[in-house]
């Protein structure tokens, strides 16, 4: 059942590309009503092999009840399938559909960030652009990937290197589907929530700290046991932050880079682990701890604030110390990884919870020290 009393709506303010993000419970069943009257004849639903078995049936039924035909294509689950080859196969399926897709076709993404990025990319390029609706199903996709219009696939030369900015028509976040999400995937999303709190909202860090036990609880049947209103509140607050950053800087020429907090060192740790054995959330958690260390050594971030962030990460089951990384190797990956062309190493450093600035004078010895710091014992 749709619970209207709990539904939150966040506006992503992008001029004529503005759209709404709805967060609530029971939304999947109400999706048909959302699409009704918009003039679409056909929905191309893009999902993955895990999510399809769980939720594609209910969404299809709801959409069909509003009079649109639904045609489903599946991405094999997993980041390794977010490729041009898989996209090309899906394009063959979509263009082979009878009756043919046209401007009255809506692409609907049902899945985690992999599905969202792939579906958005297909929507951006098939027939030079179709409208699309996002129904994210992982916490990471809810709080991060769903908002902002970045779409694309990975390339052998690096992650997310081929793609387009293509804003969706709307985003529908149903917390009910999170019940089946593996706990490790939940933690991935939580790391991004802590990131948002540190860059923009000290109150959000307090909220996460106060509700960590509830958010991370697992019930007897191994399903996630969070309270719906707490999850809705968490997601809505995070979408608001992401949305305000994106509204200010849609194409990442300025403040959108604040969202890279924890990711500069985090990505390098992920690459140093060959993208296996270290989840994205774990990497970002360690990345935030290491970058906080640099901020503390510079005298920017008081140590009690850094300690508080670590405690919150720890309470979410995220790692705050991990040895075994070669600091030189991490630094070298960062040099190779750099998006900026002027040879400077940039990093987003906090001076307080909720306040960050971009620094472009990060030195090798600071990064080496920060990676070594991750291997030291934590004094709680």
Ligand X SMILES: NC(=O)c1ccc[n+]([C@@H]2O[C@H](COP(=O)([O-])OP(=O)(O)OC[C@H]3O[C@@H](n4cnc5c(N)ncnc54)[C@H](O)[C@@H]3O)[C@@H](O)[C@H]2O)c1
Q: Is 366 among the catalytic positions?
A: no
Give the shortest CB-64-to-ligand X separation in angstroms. Answer: 21
283 near ligand X, rule: CB under 6 A: no
86 near ligand X, rule: CB under 6 A: no
Q: Is 200 among the catalytic positions?
A: no
Q: Is 256 among the catalytic positions?
A: yes
180 near ligand X, rule: CB under 6 A: yes
- Catalytic residue chosen out of the listed positions 22, 81, 280, 293: 280
Q: Interface with ligand X by CB under 6 A: which range of 180-188, 212-220, 226-234, 304-312?
A: 180-188
In the bound state with ligand X, the residue whose beta carbon lies nearer, of 78 and 323, is 78
In the bound state with ligand X, the residue whose beta carbon lies nearer, of 164 and 368, is 164
CB atoms closer than 10 angstroms to residue 155? 14
Q: Which of 74, 185, 258, 310 binds ligand X (CB under 6 A)?
A: 185
79 near ligand X, rule: CB under 6 A: yes
113 near ligand X, rule: CB under 6 A: yes
Q: Which of 131, 138, 243, 292 binds ligand X (CB under 6 A)?
A: 138
Give the separation between CA 232 and CA 230, rounded to whole angstroms: 5
In the bound state with ligand X, the residue whose beta carbon lies nearer, of 259 and 356, is 259
Q: Which of 21, 42, 45, 150 binds ligand X (CB under 6 A)?
A: 150
In the bound state with ligand X, the residue whose beta carbon lies nearer, of 272 and 306, is 272
Q: Is 97 among the catalytic positions?
A: no
Residues 34-63 that bind ligand X (CB under 6 A): 48, 50-51, 54
In the block, residue with structure tokens 């069943």: 29
- Catalytic residue chosen out of the listed positions 98, 128, 377, 379: 128
Q: Is 150 among the catalytic positions?
A: yes
Q: Is 179 among the catalytic positions?
A: no
193 near ligand X, rule: CB under 6 A: no
174 near ligand X, rule: CB under 6 A: no
Residues 307-336 that bind ligand X (CB under 6 A): none
117 near ligand X, rule: CB under 6 A: yes
The answer to whether the CB of 324 falls within 8 A of the CB of 375 is yes
In the bound state with ligand X, the residue whose beta carbon lies nearer, of 283 and 309, is 283
∠ CA 43-28-91, nearest 5°, is 30
Between the CA atoms of 139, 143, 149 and 151, what dihedral angle is there, to the nearest 10 degrees? -30
Count residues binding ligand X (CB under 6 A). Answer: 30
Q: Interface with ligand X by CB under 6 A: which range of 13-21, 140-148, 228-236, 332-340?
A: 140-148
Nearest to 187 by CA among 57, 81, 286: 286
Q: Is 282 among the catalytic positions?
A: no
Q: Is 252 among the catalytic positions?
A: yes
In the bound state with ligand X, the residue whose beta carbon lies nearer, of 160 and 355, is 160
- What are the residue numbers of the active site? 128, 150, 192, 242, 252, 256, 260, 263, 267, 280
Give me the residues that bind ligand X (CB under 6 A), please. 48, 50-51, 54, 77-79, 82, 111-115, 117, 137-138, 140-141, 144-145, 148, 150, 159-160, 177-178, 180-181, 185, 188
């Amino acid at each position: 059942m749709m619970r209207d009393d709990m539904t939150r709506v966040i506006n992503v303010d992008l001029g004529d590309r503005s759209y709404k993000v709805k967060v609530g419970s029971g939304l999947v069943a109400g999706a048909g009503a959302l699409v009704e009257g918009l003039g679409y004849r056909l929905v191309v639903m893009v999902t993955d092999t895990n999510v399809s078995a769980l939720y594609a049936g209910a969404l299809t039924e709801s959409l069909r009840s509003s009079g649109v035909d639904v045609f489903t294509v599946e991405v094999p689950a997993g980041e390794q399938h977010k490729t041009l080859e898989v996209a090309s196969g899906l394009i063959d399926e979509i263009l082979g559909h009878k009756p043919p897709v046209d401007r009255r076709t809506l692409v609907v993404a049902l899945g985690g960030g992999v599905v969202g990025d792939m579906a958005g990319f297909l929507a951006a390029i098939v027939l030079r652009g179709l409208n699309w609706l996002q129904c994210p199903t992982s916490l990471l996709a809810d709080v991060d990937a769903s908002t902002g219009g970045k779409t694309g696939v990975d390339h052998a030369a690096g992650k997310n290197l081929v793609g387009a900015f293509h804003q969706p028509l709307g985003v529908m976040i149903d917390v009910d589907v999170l019940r089946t999400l593996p706990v490790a995937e939940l933690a991935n999303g939580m790391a991004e929530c802590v990131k948002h709190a540190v860059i923009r909202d000290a109150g959000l860090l307090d909220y996460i700290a106060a509700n960590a036990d509830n958010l991370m609880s697992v019930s007897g049947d191994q399903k996630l046991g969070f309270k719906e209103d707490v999850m809705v509140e968490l997601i809505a607050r995070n979408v608001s932050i992401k949305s305000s950053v994106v509204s200010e800087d849609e194409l990442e020429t300025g403040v959108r880079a604040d969202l890279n907090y924890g990711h500069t060192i985090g990505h390098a740790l992920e690459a140093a682990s060959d993208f296996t054995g270290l989840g994205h959330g774990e990497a970002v958690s360690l990345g935030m701890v290491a970058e906080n260390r640099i901020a503390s050594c510079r005298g920017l971030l008081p140590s009690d604030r850094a300690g508080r962030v670590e405690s919150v990460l720890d309470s979410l089951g995220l790692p705050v110390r991990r040895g075994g990384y070669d600091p030189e190797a991490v630094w070298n990956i960062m040099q190779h990884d750099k998006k900026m062309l002027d040879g400077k190493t940039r990093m987003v450093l906090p001076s307080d919870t909720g306040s960050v600035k971009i620094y472009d004078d990060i030195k090798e010895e600071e990064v080496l020290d920060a990676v070594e710091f991750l291997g030291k014992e934590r004094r709680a």
